[in-house]
Amino acid sequence: MNPDGPLVLIVEDEAPVRLFIRASLAAHGFRPIEATTEPEALAMTDRHRPTLILLDLDLPAAQGVELVRTLRGSTKAPILVISARGQEDDKVAALDAGADDYVTKPFGVNELLARMRVALRYATTIDEPRKATAALSFGGLRIDLEQREVTSGGRAIRLTPTEYRLLVLLAQNAGRVLTHRQIQEGVWGAGHADQPHRVRVYMAVLRKKLEDDPAWPRHIVTEQGIGYRFREASSA
Amino acid sequence: MNPDGPLVLIVEDEAPVRLFIRASLAAHGFRPIEATTEPEALAMTDRHRPTLILLDLDLPAAQGVELVRTLRGSTKAPILVISARGQEDDKVAALDAGADDYVTKPFGVNELLARMRVALRYATTIDEPRKATAALSFGGLRIDLEQREVTSGGRAIRLTPTEYRLLVLLAQNAGRVLTHRQIQEGVWGAGHADQPHRVRVYMAVLRKKLEDDPAWPRHIVTEQGIGYRFREASSA
DNA sequence: GCCAATCTTGACGGCATCTTGATACGCGGC
DNA sequence: GCCGCGTATCAAGATGCCGTCAAGATTGGC
């Protein structure tokens, strides 16, 4: 096992799945540690400070979502939630509670590893360059937080206050999934999280202004039934 | 913690928000100190002379605006006000009372840091070169306070007395938001702060005379519902 | 008192923003 | 294939603030 690999806590009560994940991670340079219950997960987190946490929502007593909340209070490590099909509500609740991303069972090893890498990349880029980030850059897109200016490929983009706020929220959580609720609370404040329609309208506007081809967005990605995700432009 | 970082006083009564801000500032090289009540804020300000003050308007007893006024009387440090959505009136009142800028909750860390940097930059540039504040320069724009002459890109600009007073007011508060009230009191004196219309007329004139493209001003920026802000021309 | 420069005021148009409704699309389930 | 859910997009409306033009009032110099 790679002694320098990222420490990953697996919270999973079903032994076969746990073993499968452990083997997969170990084979790819991670150092897996394990927990099967809520208190165990908390103890492991406090003691070993894992770099990333994999959490199956199918925990006994359905305490998964609460566990996410508790963990989020004690660590900044990215939390990836594993949920079964048809568990959409739990998944959204877990994200609302602070999870960073999700994987749906059944999943392939490569999918899981890819998600983990993305989560780790963004976690470290947020944490490491403690130097003041006056601007956010994603490929040709640049957001100047001081001047409150957005440029795409050099040309300036005019955004209304709400549009700007939404974009900044997305960009600052690049790589993460943001639920409808999180987006609305972030843009309109708490207590205004019941009109997902508005969000869609603004997403459409942002895409039209930012994306080269709004019908095939490269930055603003829809997560069906969950919310949206901002990512760096992929190689088209 | 960086022992040389700017000392920032956080005035915030809600513990979670306060901790969040403190952690964010400490992680970016600032030295945060804290207060949760009005008298505490005043005491901390007198004793530690912070370089910048972050003040949540949601203080108990709604004393936020009054506190701004009092603080302004005892320190020249920039005051950044934190207000919630829908608190537009309080926000404007706080700016009138002497606050330098505002951030709207909920806000991102980077957004907050960006505002702080802007405030600190202008505060020091105003404070340090006490020598010969005979002229102000912003990119191609130059205001000679002794000769009472304004040039843009070398060519002289003819301004009427009122136009000149307005421009100087804006330029001397570059980076800050100036409310309609402040502008009117600054240009026409106290007791003439109820005709925002005049201000718009003069802003239009100034833009026509100073800006390359008055329809897209680079110096004189409108702050909807608040007032105006003068800034250096960005790199377009 | 006259003139020119300046300032004020009114009116209008415009723009921007935000919201809401209507409609079409896309995808998966049945 | 049909249906239903969630989504994308367009359109229209309400509101309030802003920018601009131009006429009228004022001021100050002579």
Find the Å distance, CA of residue A222 to C1' of nucleotide C27.
13
Judging by DSSP bridges, how do beta strands A79-84 and A101-105 pair with one another?
parallel
**B139 to chain A: which residues are within 8 Å by CB?**
none
Is A152 a domain residue?
A: yes
A75, two tokens: 């660590």
What residue in A sits closest to B28 (Cα-Cα)? A130
Is A119 a domain residue?
A: yes
- Residue at which a domain ends, from B127, B143, B178: B127
Distance from CA of A221 to the nearest CA of B (A): 21
Answer yes or no: are the C-beta atoms of B43 and B70 closer than 8 Å: no
Please list the pLDDT of chain A residue by residue as tens digits (236 residues): 677 789 999 999 889 989 999 999 999 999 999 999 889 999 999 999 999 999 998 776 567 888 999 998 888 899 999 988 777 788 899 999 989 999 888 788 888 998 899 888 876 555 444 455 678 888 888 898 888 888 888 888 888 888 998 999 999 888 889 999 999 988 888 777 788 898 999 999 999 988 777 777 788 999 888 899 998 765 44
Average pLDDT on B210-227 reads: 86
Q: Which nucleotide is nearest to A221 (CA to C1')?
A: D7
3-state helix, strand, coil in chain A (%, to 5): 45, 20, 35
- Residue at which a domain ends, from A109, A127, A145: A127
Clarify whether residues A176 and A199 are in a common domain.
Answer: yes
Report the residue from B117, B224, B234 with minimal CB separation from A132.
Answer: B117
How many structural domains comprise chain B?
2
Distance from CA of B102 to the nearest CA of A (A): 13
Clarify whether residues A56 and A165 are in a common domain.
Answer: no
In this structure, which amino acid lies at residue B233?
A
Q: Tens digits of per-residue pLDDT, B157-169?
A: 999 999 999 999 9
**Helices marked H in chain B — which ranges?**
15-27, 38-48, 64-74, 88-96, 109-127, 161-172, 180-188, 196-210
Answer yes or no: are the C-beta atoms of A192 and B106 closer than 8 Å: no
Q: What is the pLDDT confidence band of residue B234, given thresholds at 50, 70 and 90?
A: low
Clarify whether residues A13 and A123 are in a common domain.
Answer: yes
Mark yes or no for CB contact A147/B86 under 8 Å.
no
Mark yes or no for CB contact A134/B111 under 8 Å.
no
Q: Residue with CA nearest C7 C1'?
A: B162
Is B113 a domain residue?
A: yes
Report the residue from B27, B86, B234 with minimal CB separation from A147.
Answer: B234
C-alpha B63/C-alpha A22 separation (Å) is: 56
- Which CATH number is A59's domain given? 3.40.50.2300
Answer yes or no: are the C-beta atoms of A202 and A163 closer than 8 Å: yes
Answer yes or no: are the C-beta atoms of A81 and A94 closer than 8 Å: yes
Clarify whether residues A115 and A170 are in a common domain.
Answer: no
Clarify whether residues A13 and A55 are in a common domain.
Answer: yes
